[in-house]
């Protein structure tokens, strides 16, 4: 009880402050719980229809961009948009009435490296906070518990010490993860008996697991209540290792800066529960704006029901996933979230390959420090390998890779000292330079303008 007291005080303080400000976060949280416990998907959709059509009516009346869509009949009458369209038409997209209120700016470059900004209203910010509380709770985390937040902490992102202390956040910089740092961190966590949860890049957690493997560690007694991976694909290898060492299930969260939490894995499943309370989610064909069959991969497109500043209606997230119905679950779920299309490799026949197939290769070669699989042309690939000492299994790795992409693949193996990280300090296991070039050529040859009916 003594170890839990600071956490309980923070919990009570959070809700007391929210109550003092009008209970706005609690109101949103109750609404999320009410919606996500409906006894049918039809019931949930009917309850959300009012919010959806309120948003659609507002944008057709208050934005130049959507002014020609006043006679719409359904959401599907609206065009699919993306970051490029939003940037090109930013002023025409802003809802007029929102300009009179205090707005919050969200800046991100994401994995694309393209600077991007949207505005959010206070209501949207409260909704995001409530979404976070709800889905963190599903993973086992409670407000007030220590949050082991492992990511890139640059000067723009790092919280001030007093703010981090008040929120009970331990800001762990992924750039600091060497053996000495990890050893000291784990000693500190075992001494601290208070409840805590991980929120982290899976690549950072993998380094911690590799260290624990290297010292033949037993499971640790750290009182970890939740483990949530974010921003990167979570391999089954890292998921099982983290669950083993920290004695609690690990889940993957699917979210982005511009919207919030879109979906999150269940602790007992690989499937993702979708945040139907705050978004409408579609999975559309890669070439046409029509739904794909259940279980098939397509573009993840969302409508944010709560952004009434920069509307994100049928927003192409740039990510790929598959929507499916699961027995004993009320609402459709995401069977998989594969990451960005530009990160997906294709085989020599043009069929898409899940990144998880490449992740499954790594445990077979523990001597490999880092690896990246790159597609440069339709049938040409590079495997970049960072390995200590001599790698004696190159032929086996090449054969395994060709069994995935095609025996006719043109393949080159490059040995490197380091595989570069993104500016966010995330590392991509796959990269499709061929798709990136095709996309850039398409953008260079077209001018993105306001869609017309």
- The domains of the chain are located at 5-340, 344-444
Q: Compute the mean pLDDT over every residue in the chain, rounded to the nearest whole number.
A: 90
pLDDT band at 328 (very low <50, low <70, confident <90, very high): confident
What is the three-state SS of 206-270? HHHHHHHHHCCCCCCCCCEEEEEECCCCCCHHHHHHHHHHHCCCEEEEEEECCCEEEEEECCCCC
pLDDT digits (tens, 9 = 90+) for 235-259: 888 999 999 999 999 999 999 999 9
Give the residue among 125, 126, 121 at the shortest CA–CA distance from 29. Answer: 126
pLDDT at 443: 52
- Answer with the residue of higher pLDDT: 368 or 37: 37
Lowest mean pLDDT among 33-42, 146-155, 204-213, 373-382: 146-155
CB atoms within 10 A of CB 12: 12
pLDDT at 426: 61
pLDDT digits (tens, 9 = 90+) for 129-146: 999 999 999 999 999 999
pLDDT at 440: 65
| Pair of tokens at residue 285 | 């064909």
pLDDT at 444: 58
pLDDT digits (tens, 9 = 90+) for 382-412: 999 998 888 999 999 999 999 999 999 999 9
**What are the φ/ψ torsions at residue 360 (nearest 5 degrees)?**
-70, -15
The CA distance from 19 to 445, in Å, is 54
Fold of 344-444: GMP Synthetase; Chain A, domain 3 (3.30.300)
pLDDT at 449: 43
Fold of 5-340: Rossmann fold (3.40.50)
pLDDT at 115: 64
What's the DSSP call for residue 420? P
Residue 373 near residue 412, CB atoms below 8 Å: no
Read off the pTM.
0.83
Asked whether this chain's domains 5-340 and 344-444 adopt the same fold, the reply is: no
């Amino acid at each position: 009880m003594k170890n839990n007291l600071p956490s309980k005080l923070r919990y009570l303080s959070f809700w007391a402050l929210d109550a003092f400000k009008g209970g706005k976060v609690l109101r949103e949280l109750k609404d999320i719980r009410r919606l996500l416990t409906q006894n049918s998907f039809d019931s949930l959709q009917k309850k959300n229809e009012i919010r959806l059509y309120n948003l659609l009516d507002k944008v057709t009346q208050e934005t130049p961009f959507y002014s020609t869509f006043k006679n719409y009949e359904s959401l599907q009458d609206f065009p699919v948009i993306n970051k490029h369209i939003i940037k090109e038409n930013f002023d025409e997209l802003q809802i007029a009435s929102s300009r009179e209120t205090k707005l919050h700016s969200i800046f991100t470059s994401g994995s694309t490296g393209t600077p991007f900004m949207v505005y959010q209203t206070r209501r949207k910010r409260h909704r995001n906070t409530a979404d976070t509380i709800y889905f963190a709770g599903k993973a086992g985390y409670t407000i007030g518990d220590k949050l082991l937040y492992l990511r890139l902490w640059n000067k723009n992102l790092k919280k001030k010490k007093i703010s981090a202390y008040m929120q009970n956040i331990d800001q762990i910089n992924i750039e600091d993860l060497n053996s000495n740092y990890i050893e000291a961190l784990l000693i500190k966590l075992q001494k601290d008996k208070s409840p805590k949860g991980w929120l982290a890049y899976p690549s950072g957690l993998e380094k911690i697991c590799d260290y624990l493997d290297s010292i033949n560690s037993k499971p640790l007694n750290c009182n970890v209540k939740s483990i949530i991976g974010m921003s990167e694909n979570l391999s089954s290898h890292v998921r099982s290792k983290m669950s083993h060492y920290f004695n609690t299930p690990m889940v993957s969260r699917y979210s982005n800066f511009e919207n919030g939490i879109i979906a999150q894995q269940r602790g007992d499943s690989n499937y993702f529960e979708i945040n139907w309370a705050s978004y409408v989610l579609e999975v559309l064909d890669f070439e046409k704006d029509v739904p794909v069959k259940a279980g098939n991969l397509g573009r993840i497109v969302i409508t944010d029901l709560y952004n009434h500043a920069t509307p994100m209606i049928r927003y192409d997230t740039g990510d790929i996933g598959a929507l499916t119905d699961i027995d004993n679950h009320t609402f459709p779920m995401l069977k998989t979230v594969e990451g960005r299309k530009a990160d997906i490799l294709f085989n020599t026949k043009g069929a898409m390959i899940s990144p998880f197939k490449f992740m499954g290769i790594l445990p077979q070669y523990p001597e490999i420090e880092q690896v990246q699989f790159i597609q440069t042309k339709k049938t040409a690939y590079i495997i970049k390998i960072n390995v200590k000492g001599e790698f004696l299994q190159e032929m086996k790795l090449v054969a395994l890779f060709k069994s995935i992409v095609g025996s006719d693949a043109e393949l080159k193996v490059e040995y490197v000292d380091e595989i570069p990280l993104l500016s966010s300090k995330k590392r991509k296991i796959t990269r499709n330079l061929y798709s990136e070039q095709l996309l850039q050529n398409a953008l260079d040859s077209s001018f993105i303008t306001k869609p017309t009916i």
